Amino acid sequence: MRVLVGGGTGFVGKALGQLLRSRGHEVTCVSRRQGPDRISWDELSSFGLPPCDAAVNLAGENVLNPLRRWDEAFRKVVVASRVETTKTLAKAIAEAEQPPRVWVLITGVGYYRPSPTAEYTEESPGGDFDFLSRLVSAWEAVAKIPGDVTRQVVVRSGVVLGKDGGAISQMLWPFRLGLGGPVSTGQQPFPWIHVRDAAGLICHVLETEGISGVLNGVSPTSPATSNADFARELGLALGRPALLPLPSWVVQGILGAERAVMLLEGQRVLPTRTLASGYHFMYPDLPSALKEIVS
């Protein structure tokens, strides 16, 4: 299978590319820079979709980048990196003489309203109560293409955990020094998935005819995981205490109130349709996932 991957040079994209190639698939990345087995977004816009059997979009600026001030300019960068790239790829698919058989978009569980108690499946409503939920709604809306020639799938991912990237790369040093702990009260839900399962689920979707619609990309034990649980398990995996909470006012001061919601609140998300699709998680529980990450 020839697979075109938008954002294929990022954290999840690299893991997906390695897995696809190991399974005998050809991978071409769409990125900002040209290179071997790559095309640029400008080339995609100008010359259309190259021959491919499947297309995936993982592109997106890191919303929680603490080095970027949360202002209108950065909001536009975040929107463009997700919505505009998806619109470009969807347009190229819709206009292709031979469109791919499957088109997969990776968005986020921020689609669902944060709640300490509500549980969300793929059928649950959401998408219109804060910046992130509206972003996901717009993101998913522009991905839709007419007709039924191309199978269309949306994976709403939780926090992706893995070595050498993702959210955990910013957490390891404080925890290694014994300075880690829960964020605020730690009671907020913590929807998560190991990077190998994020890549594995996408590969499963590409290779399995009949899967379409929305899948929640979270581990099966994710609904029972709180931020405090994550902090405790990461401390245990490292052999370090994890007792120092990060106050909410510090998070708000670093990220801004609107963006801090992503860490101070959370969603209990169930991978109901994901499990029904036949996907088997390599890292279904947090201890096994973190053991692999810190090893």
- Classify domain 2-290 at the CATH superfamily level: NAD(P)-binding Rossmann-like Domain (3.40.50.720)
pLDDT tens digits for range 120-135: 999 999 978 888 999 9
pLDDT above 90 for 47: yes
pTM above 0.85, yes or no: yes
pLDDT of 233 reads 96
pLDDT of 257 reads 84
The more confidently predicted of residues 259 and 123 is 123
Decide: 96 and 49 in contact? Cβ < 8 Å: yes
Decide: 155 and 186 in contact? Cβ < 8 Å: no
Decide: 279 and 91 in contact? Cβ < 8 Å: no
Q: How many CB atoms lie within 10 A of CB 172?
A: 15
Give the confidence band of 65 by pLDDT, cuts at 50, 70, 90.
Answer: confident
Best CA proximity match to 202, nearest among 274, 255, 131: 274
Q: Where are the beta strands (DSSP E) in the chain?
A: 2-6, 26-31, 38-40, 54-57, 102-108, 119-120, 151-157, 159-161, 192-194, 213-217, 268-269
Give the confidence band of 171 by pLDDT, cuts at 50, 70, 90.
Answer: confident
Q: What is the mean pLDDT of the chain?
A: 94
Q: Domains of the chain: which residue ranges?
A: 2-290
Residue 281's DSSP bridge partners are none
pLDDT above 90 for 36: no
Instruction: Report the percentage of the chain scoring pLDDT > 90.
Output: 80
Q: For residues 42-68, give the mean pLDDT.
A: 92
Q: How many CB atoms lie within 10 A of CB 46?
A: 8
pLDDT above 90 for 138: yes
Q: For residues 35-59, give the mean pLDDT.
A: 93
pLDDT above 90 for 183: yes
pLDDT above 90 for 40: yes
* DSSP notation for 170-213: GTHHHHHTT----BTTS-SB--EEEHHHHHHHHHHHHH-TT--E
